Homo-oligomer: A and B are copies of this chain.
């Protein structure tokens, strides 16, 4: 359970890192949408391991295949199955961790919950699962683009190094550097820090900021399914995420209402707000301004150092770091954040089509 997400634009994912394949079924994508497969591949490539020296050096191709739901380049309204076959999935030797609980991984909790677990490469808890989200998100993005909406994320913090406010940067530069921070100076410092952390055989956390532009007023449901609550759940469901804030966020707790309130004005026949501490969402419903939010990622749990732990029998063991892992997850998390945001907004875009009687 818990492998589906969304209400009308609904995805279901499957697959372990060392099984035959991972994949996603999209149920509820409207019929007649033109699908550009290159755009899907581009997103997968942004997420894939081995893309630069600051990510894991593991090589994965992440080629996808559409198995259903698209005919002659257009969606048919039937489920879209996207599969990514695991190359090279034959297990190397995992016996050194088969019965050990790696600190801050999901080994122990899976063991407690299910009694059995696929210990190879993290199994279902592997970050590889997010490739399916990115593929589905790429289709959601195409649906949103049709209606003038665009989702953009970037790395706004690595360790203690932070980028300026998004309004002060040129977001078209995000893909110009390997850390995906649009401010060149900050990007340089972030890369240096990640390099250092990697040499220390350690990892470091960071923040991804995301902006959804062009979202019309009216998306989101007033009570439990507030647009930011759905975005929050979506982000918190990504591996390694520890926090979510939108608009003024945690900083807003220090403000007074008189400073925080976004006064309305009229501009070219459209109701706008002078400030946007609301982050484009009021009462859980989009108001037409930019939606923006921050997503906090902890340092990756896999480090190249020895750590104390216990095994399934509760005996003390040492877990040794092996393999190729990301010193910092945020550069590769950027397309994942975008994908999840696109899925949420696409879903609410459809849900909102039935909010008014005719």
Contact = CB atoms under 8 A, between A and B. Distances in A.
Contacts of A110: 77, 222, 283, 285
Contact of A250 (B226, B254, B296): B296
Interface residues of A, number: 154
A77 B250 contact: no
Q: How many copies does the complex hold?
A: 4
A154 interface: no
A71 B146 contact: no
25 contacts: A3-B25, A3-B27, A3-B79, A5-B224, A12-B27, A15-B81, A19-B67, A31-B356, A74-B116, A76-B123, A77-B110, A104-B277, A108-B287, A112-B287, A160-B254, A203-B258, A205-B260, A233-B233, A242-B250, A243-B245, A243-B253, A248-B298, A249-B296, A250-B296, A260-B299
Contacts of A286: 109
A269 B2 contact: no
A335 to B, nearest CB: 17
Contacts of A351: 1
Contacts of A288: 112
A265 to B, nearest CB: 6
Nearest to A233: B233
Contact of A109 (B239, B252, B287): B287
A242 B249 contact: yes
A314 B69 CA distance: 26
Given A203-B256, A250-B250, A285-B106, A245 B67 contact: no
Contacts of A316: 265-266
A89 B298 CA distance: 47
A246 B256 contact: no
A197 B278 CA distance: 21
A8 B271 CA distance: 29
A206 B252 CA distance: 8
